[in-house]
Structure 1
Amino acid sequence: MGPQRIVCLTEEPTEVLYALGEQDRIVGISGFTVRPAQARREKPKVSAFTSAKIGEILKLQPDFVVGFSDIQADIARELVKAGVEVWISNHRSVDGILDYVRRLGAMVGAGERANDWAEELRRGLDAIEAQAATLPRRPKVYFEEWDEPPITGIRWVAELVRIAGGDDIFPDRAIEPLAKARILEDAAEVVRRAPDIILGSWCGKKFRPERVAARPGWDAIPAVRDGELHEVKSPIILQPGPAALTDGVARIAAIVQAWGARRAG
């Protein structure tokens, strides 16, 4: 049977449970949830990312709350003190996302369906990686998830860039789980690493390529010179859930393949 009244403090458990056909268990969601759109229409919104309406959550009488990362530690503490069972996942990689799908599915008695879906997601990634092998060469990619200060991409993003055919220019920073460790103290380091493509996904606001191109010295970057500055919408890449493994990586792959086609021509 598993838990019957689940509150999802982030989007990815909501998306997973809907995909597995277990949405009736969900009694509350994050206000930042955009996938699936149906969830926004029919589920109460009881949390942001760093804050939550603890009283409203308790009124829903949840028997299980799912959150993500140390950033939600305070929310989890309050709920645990109130006697609620809480699971805070902390996965930061593509394999971690696939394992998350399997584990959450198992918790609600949908382990077989979750395993099948995880395998389907893996096959999709393998197909994109196979297509990437046909590129004339691999572009160097700078992924920026915030602009002031510049913050580079997290691990699952760097891995998806690689699967899509590119090479993240800050692999050393991608392994850092906390955003503060991925802040670029010297933005000129991007100039020195000379990316062929710049991907922007400014969490919660529109990416402005003209602002990036206007940064001092950045006109020397191949991506700026060639106009290869592209937005990847944050809802499909910056959450460690199924969206990143489907629409997110597909968007990156399309950008990389188009870049390769222009070079091949």
Structure 2
Amino acid sequence: MDRIVSVAPSATSIVQALDAGDRLVGATAHCEVADVPRLGGWLNPDLDRIADLDPDLVLTNDQLQADLRDALRDDGFRVAHAEPATLDDVLSSFRTIGDAIGLPERGERLEERARDRIDRIRNVTLDGKDRPVVYCEEWGDPPMAAGNWVPEAVRVAGGRYPFVEPGDRSRKIDRPAVEAADPDFAVVHHCGAGEPSTRALVEREWDLDAEVCAIDDSLLNQPSPRLLDGIERLASIVSAVDPAVEEPSVAAGQ
């Protein structure tokens, strides 16, 4: 696939990790990629501009883009779509996108390296019953406890996450539920917040005896290789360790 349009930041990151960023001819304003036309937001891209770019393939990702996927297909575009909900889904999507863009060996290798990296993080984080409780907040108004792959990310990082089951969508949560869980750590990663900040949580004055920190939202919210960086960051917070393992990317020709 020589001409790829990505309307999902996660898909854009995966394409770049596959060393195929030079095939991108368009992306949304939320994608971190240089020198390609911007097509608007990830939920409402400009379909006419996409048509003008004449892509061989359009990449979408997440349940929230299912309607967009259908609209693109109805307009005659070839679309590769993924809806990762668990950590395993995220890692499998590296191979799926590799297949979709005609680079199956790179996709397989990227997935393998990501799984190896997860295993290495597990090997240096806490084990057993004394895992600290971690509260991860994806949105602030109303407060939402992060779901999907985040509960598993916390587990890999050495923590315990009693707020949402792995694979379930993020959900609204209230002060009594968070206080009752008595978290040791509270991690703020509000979607689209820009500069990471703990202000929204701190200003609520919840009665928490927790270490509060903020990290870039893409490190936990984006189902891409960035998530591996996020899990390492969690491990440094929750388990006070530095896994110090390499970025899960593939070199050209591998």
Q: Taking structure 2 as the reference length, what is the TM-score of the superposition?
A: 0.87
- Distance (Å, rounded) in 1 between the aligned partners of 2:167 and 2:100: 28
Give 1:175's aligned residue: 167
Counterpart-to-counterpart distance in 2, 1:212 and 1:24:
40
Higher relative contact order (CA 8 A, sep 6+): 2
SS in 1 for 2:223: coil
Instruction: Give the aligned partner of residue 3 of structure 2.
Output: 5
User: Unmatched 5+ residue regions in structure 1?
Assistant: 260-265
Q: Is the 8 A contact 1:11 1:33 kept in 2?
A: yes
Asked if the contact 2:140/2:200 (under 8 Å) is kept, the reply is: no
Aligned pairs for 1:29-178 (under 5 A) are 29-34=27-32, 39=33, 41-133=34-126, 137-172=130-165, 174-177=166-169
Q: Partner residue of 2:186?
A: 198
Cα distance in structure 1, aligned partners of 2:185 and 2:226: 22
The aligned residue for residue 215 of structure 1 is: 204
Partner amino acid, structure 1, of 2:209? P
Measure, in 1, the Cα distance between the counterparts of 2:196 and 2:163: 20
Question: Aligned AA for 2:168?
Answer: E
Question: Deviation per CA, 1:89-143, whole angstroms, max 9, x where unpaired?
Answer: 1111111111100111122232122212211111111111111136993110110
Q: Deviations over 1:157-192 (max 9, x none)?
A: 1111100000112133x5323x4xx112x3211011
CA apart distance, 1:210: 4.6
Kindly tell me the number of residue pairs found equivalent between the two proteins.
240
Contact in 2 for aligned 1:135/1:165 (Cα 8 Å): no
Secondary structure, counterpart of 1:237 in structure 2: helix
8 Å CA contact 1:199, 1:229 repeated in 2: yes
Cα shift readout 1:173-221 (whole Å, capped 9, x = no counterpart): x5323x4xx112x3211011111100000111145435423435x22x2
Amino acid in structure 2 at the alignment position of 1:212:
L
SS at match of 1:50: coil
Q: Contact conserved, 1:7 with 1:28, CA < 8 A, in 2?
A: yes
Q: Deviations over 1:24-68 (max 9, x none)?
A: 32111121112xxxx2x2111113121111110000001211111
Give the share of equivalent positions with the same residue, in percent: 31
How much does 1:222 deviate?
Answer: 2.2
Deviates more, 1:19-28 or 1:142-151: 19-28
| Candidates 205, 220, 242, aligned match of 1:237 | 220
Which structure 2 segments of 5+ residues have no match?
A: 242-254
Aligned-residue CA RMSD (Å): 2.0
TM-score (structure 1 length as normaliser) = 0.84
Contact 2:85 2:168 in 1 (8 A): no
Equivalent-residue separation in structure 2 for 1:244 and 1:213 (angstroms): 25
Higher helix share: 1
Is 1:17 matched up with 2:15?
yes
| Cα gap change, 1:133 to 1:28, in 2 (>3 Å) | same
Deviation at 1:17, TM superposition (A): 1.6
8 A Cα contact 2:80 2:97, kept in partner:
no
In structure 2, the CA distance between the partners of 1:168 and 1:136, relative to structure 1 (3 Å rule), is: closer
Tell me which residue corresponds to 1:263. none
Contact in 1 for aligned 2:145/2:164 (Cα 8 Å): no
Distance of 2:27 and 2:200 partners within structure 1? 34
